[in-house]
Structure 1
């Protein structure tokens, strides 16, 4: 029996051959398509941002498209990453879907929702480095409303700062 080395190890390895194998859908990059990956309809136990829908109302006016990944098929989620110029949102597993895009051209804007405040989980860095994705992190803009560890309910310190970041980094 031959057991190959793993192609992905959480927090430490994403082999380029494994990334190439997983990347099946080519990028189309619709100019100007800016997508917000919303967590606003997830159950409270998933960890929510209590004022996320207020931010969404504001960024829709700026031309952002708000989607709820949990309502879409996996193929439709992958197509979002394949066709958007920018995909933004709060740190969460929806961002992992980009691994199924052959050569992602979208920019990722991620807002950490953990106690690391100024950083995201290392898996996001592994994926962006291996797939050569332009990824930006907007640090330290959440405060704890209800502390449940990784599933804490949070609120933005400043929605205006988040909106400014999104619009500046997507220009």
Structure 2
């Protein structure tokens, strides 16, 4: 069911719009640290299958986690759904991987935004050289389905010449004689290498290679009003959406577009606005970036957006409508309500029409 069931105008009548402010504070860091990450090659290691918030990972013969294979976030290196201790010892593992060359592909995350900033950063070297006959070892509970159930992953991996059979996720602890581990080219809310931007542009060029890009000056609003779940949402966005539609702004629902069509949208439109969300990450895959305007639910922005801006060499515009209120909304990690949504919509429209 769409979010229109949550639009009770009287529920937010007490809120007062306190102004439209450019967001300058960020959560996390946004450093660009170099051109390419290092690649480690480790021997006599073992793989422990993924367990949500459990003990899993790549470990050396002594049972110590291999740090290069650990996913982290934020400058202090916060762990992502992982306890870095092994539930087994090397000598007690009976299964050994067959002879071959293996590359570590990290943890597959099925959410679009998390996939782009937590999984894809391991694959940066594939913009520079093919995988050839090497197999990619991954951690996931979705491996056997991600080529069928996650079209964005299928599109991205396919243009990197990867197929379902390119990946292995062992179901039991397994010993590996040798494993190549590319360090991540982006750590969420912390840093990125130029190689991540290079990888994304490589993917975008290949996905759009057969399409003629016709520039369109009509502005777009990326709407979340049809989402059933997600990270953040404005509960009364539908009021803003209706106002913008009446004033000649195209309303687009990203989840209804293929990944290729999302990239075409960002390549062809000159102005794209919306409430802050992972749909805007698609911009890093295109080379003719539009003007981007995001409405933040709180008075700071996630530094991932600043990192991607730096890789694209652009500056997206972030604004915060003062007077918002946090509310509870099933299916969303954070939900807020616009104060005086028609007034906010008018400010958004003025911003869209203003020449930067």
- Class of the TM-score when normalised by the shorter of the 2 chains: 0.7 to 0.9
Work out whether residues 35 and 65 of structure 1, in 8 Å CA contact, stay in contact via their aligned partners in 2: yes
The 3 A distance-change label for structure 1 pair 49 and 83 is same
Task: Please point out which of 279, 292, 299 is paired with 1:118.
Answer: 299
Deviation at 1:28, TM superposition (A): 4.5
Identify the residue that residue 338 of structure 2 maps to in structure 1: 156
**C-alpha distance in 2 between matches for 1:84 and 1:112:** 21
Q: Which has the higher strand share?
A: 2
Helix, strand or coil: the match of 2:344? Answer: helix
The 3 A distance-change label for structure 1 pair 119 and 47 is closer
Deviation at 1:164, TM superposition (A): 1.7
- Residue segments in structure 1 that go unaligned for 5+ positions in a row: none
Larger Rg, first or second structure (1 or 2): 2
The 3 A distance-change label for structure 1 pair 63 and 153 is same
**C-alpha distance in 1 between matches for 2:189 and 2:339:** 28
| CA RMSD after TM alignment | 2.6
Work out whether residues 240 and 344 of structure 2, in 8 Å CA contact, stay in contact via their aligned partners in 1: no
The 3 A distance-change label for structure 1 pair 92 and 136 is same
Deviations 1:35-92 (A, max 9, x none): 1111101115654322211111111122211111111111011111111111111111
Note if 1:145 corresponds to 2:330. no
Helix, strand or coil: the match of 2:233? Answer: coil
Work out whether residues 85 and 107 of structure 1, in 8 Å CA contact, stay in contact via their aligned partners in 2: yes
TM-score scaled to structure 1, two decimals?
0.83
Q: How many residues align?
A: 167
**C-alpha distance in 1 between matches for 2:351 and 2:275:** 17
Note if 1:108 corresponds to 2:292. yes
Work out whether residues 284 and 311 of structure 2, in 8 Å CA contact, stay in contact via their aligned partners in 1: no
Identify the residue that residue 142 of structure 2 maps to in structure 1: none
**C-alpha distance in 1 between matches for 2:351 and 2:214:** 19
Deviation at 1:104, TM superposition (A): 3.4
Work out whether residues 104 and 133 of structure 1, in 8 Å CA contact, stay in contact via their aligned partners in 2: no
Identify the residue that residue 90 of structure 1 maps to in structure 2: 275
- Residue segments in structure 2 that go unaligned for 5+ positions in a row: 1-40, 42-179
Identify the residue that residue 40 of structure 1 maps to in structure 2: 225
**C-alpha distance in 2 between matches for 1:45 and 1:9:** 21
Work out whether residues 29 and 105 of structure 1, in 8 Å CA contact, stay in contact via their aligned partners in 2: no
Identify the residue that residue 128 of structure 1 maps to in structure 2: 309
Return 103-112 or 159-168, whichever deviates more: 159-168
